[in-house]
Structure 1
């Protein structure tokens, strides 16, 4: 994440802990994505950042929304976006969820089972459905390989069931896993899509769109050893463009393409102003002495994904001086509230003292949505926003 002058000023001016979103940076990232994939319609994955101001700026840019519940649908509608640009992207939904979404005007539903298709037909008659194919999740920090999606054979059955039930079998979808670090995963997804599309066309079913889901990576994270993650974004975009051409060549009807980016658009354009709770040194039972840096926020109030990655830390009141390797952890009485990997040691100022400010970068994704209502009595972070350079 690049700390531009307005973001740096906003973090420096904050006297209390908070997360700051750079709306200008988010808009620029959206424009950059469309420059790489001009044939894509964006449906922002709301779960990544359910902040009204962020959603509004994306809606004004032309984005639609991938919603996973009636509450998210209602929030999306408050941006003023046409309901035709909102789809119910969660394959898991109750009858009541379907009824409420249909009442709000949604007519596009994700599915991955014949049971769900039957429920949609009963409670959202005439709607369009897109079937989610399972992927391995290999290469992603968070693979999504079992809870969602079905096999190619099941996908054909699901789409045939939708057609028979009076629904429109409108599309296929995939998700290659969150923070996908390889282009191979995308190549595999396109091959799966091509096979199912060919099978459906042979059965007289002609989907009109392909939803490529989420998975596009953010660039500002560190791995569990503190090294910069380096996703091959140029190669990923090239594979996606080639895959879209491949599917258009296979399909017997015109295809439109949708994506559901979340963290790729907002992760690197949010930062937390936190503070040091304590830098301490303790001998462990194996005789090793460790430094621990306890922050005012952690896994349960802003840094939920710290079990899989590290965030870049900036200590604005400490320029130079001696540093020590420390384990970074949050303030709660929970052993999961810290970096999990045995090699997780972060170089921190040896003079860091309680109350010193710490800026935590690339926190725009999932920081708000995953926060508890005050686990252990530590408050969720408030947020603010700027419109940077």
Structure 2
């Protein structure tokens, strides 16, 4: 790596790789991901990282993070198998999905998984039957307030349920090992973390009174990416310094509670990946049509959209770069993907995007900060539009 090479959102090497690409593809900046990982462990010293691999189930990314010391938060036996093939030690893989069938549990247990997330009595009984002697960590519900995706309904239980679950786990021969939370994906506030620590502290205190002492707290995901715009086109500016400070203070507070000897886990996904991946796409068409109210509306149709790389476009406006039209006159347009699906578009009720007026079919477009969930949410060919291939930057070579 040369002394002048920089990594991070819109790094010089990532931009060079996009410029060199002749066909549509996703480019992952591995040194940028590595720098993000190093920043995380520096900001949260001593915390074990379990990468939420659903954000980027790419072998090269998993292998890189494994070499740096990361483990994996897996949501299925198939994810467990991929993580192991990529070089992640089984001791650094846990089953973080509270939704799992008896067969899922048994398959994961045969692969060597002994740490399971849970949030219901039904699930913890199934773990005891199909993965006897395992460790469980109980996911507490959060409000999800302050996040772009709150994650507040499908997962997590109340404090009272958590006490019953952990007592049942102990009675069934499992090890009640930890508590977990998720404050919501792309969490934009530090207050959400304060609220989560309050809830965890209350449950830890109540568990200790019942003679149950845990060995870890899993703080889940939620750490935000830095390069997004919201659906109105406003740049998102998460208070990262404050978030990290609140997390450190919260860990110190929990560590001081009597009885428990706690380690801490985090499950970053988009925080590590989003800003270090970008898509080289192209213009399908820039067109203008009269709306029913008589106003003229521009539409920019890209070669990729919700179903092949940009699944989160209903909540985000991905940043677009038009390398062949820098500084050109622009027009406000709705940005949309190529399929015959009306959901395959930015939220045009909330904000239009300025795009070069002279765009022509085939012109390159770079979709920045699109590394998270680009590969995992992609369909296998909706409307005949194929999944995007991916490549990666490793040092100075692409």
TM-score, normalized by length of structure 1?
Answer: 0.99
Distance 1:341 1:323, change over 3 A: closer
Measure how far apart 1:152 and its partner are. Answer: 0.3
Q: What is the aligned counterpart of 1:283 among 266, 276, 290? A: 290
Count, aligned residues? 389
1:5 equivalent in structure 2: 12
1:42 aligns with 2:45: no
Aligned-pair Cα RMSD in Å:
0.9
Q: What is the aligned counterpart of 1:23 among 30, 36, 51? A: 30
2:5 equivalent in structure 1: none
Deviation per residue, 1:238-274 (Å, 9 max, x gap): 1100100111112412100000000000100000000
Between the aligned partners of 1:343 and 1:109, the Cα distance in structure 2 is: 40
Query: For 1:250, what is the secondary structure of its paired residue?
Result: coil
Q: Once structures 1 and 2 are overlaid, which stretch shifts more, 282-291 or 26-35?
A: 282-291
Between the aligned partners of 2:348 and 2:16, the Cα distance in structure 1 is: 33
2:120 equivalent in structure 1: 113
Query: For 2:285, what is the secondary structure of its paired residue?
Result: strand
1:372 aligns with 2:374: no
Q: What is the aligned counterpart of 1:58 among 50, 57, 65? A: 65
1:71 equivalent in structure 2: 78
Measure how far apart 1:3 and its partner are. Answer: 2.3
Query: For 2:36, what is the secondary structure of its paired residue?
Result: helix
1:139 aligns with 2:139: no
1:14 equivalent in structure 2: 21
2:93 equivalent in structure 1: 86
1:357 equivalent in structure 2: 364
Between the aligned partners of 2:194 and 2:49, the Cα distance in structure 1 is: 20
Deviation per residue, 1:277-336 (Å, 9 max, x gap): 000010011112111100000000000000001111000001222111111000000000
Deviation per residue, 1:124-156 (Å, 9 max, x gap): 000000000000110000011110000000000
1:273 aligns with 2:304: no
1:155 aligns with 2:184: no
Q: What is the aligned counterpart of 1:212 among 212, 219, 244? A: 219
1:169 equivalent in structure 2: 176
1:245 aligns with 2:252: yes
1:99 equivalent in structure 2: 106
Between the aligned partners of 2:13 and 2:327, the Cα distance in structure 1 is: 24
Structure 1 segments (4+ residues) deviating >3 Å:
none
CA contact (8 A) 2:29 2:276 kept: yes
Between the aligned partners of 2:294 and 2:44, the Cα distance in structure 1 is: 54
Q: Once structures 1 and 2 are overlaid, which stretch shifts more, 316-325 or 180-189?
A: 316-325
CA contact (8 A) 1:332 1:376 kept: yes
2:339 equivalent in structure 1: 332
Structure 2 spans left out of the alignment, 5+ residues: 1-7
Between the aligned partners of 1:215 and 1:321, the Cα distance in structure 2 is: 37
Deviation per residue, 1:13-39 (Å, 9 max, x gap): 111100000000000000000110012
Measure how far apart 1:226 and its partner are. Answer: 1.4
Measure how far apart 1:227 and its partner are. Answer: 1.7
CA contact (8 A) 2:150 2:183 kept: yes
Between the aligned partners of 2:377 and 2:328, the Cα distance in structure 1 is: 35
Measure how far apart 1:80 and its partner are. Answer: 2.1
Deviation per residue, 1:199-231 (Å, 9 max, x gap): 000000001100000000000001122121011
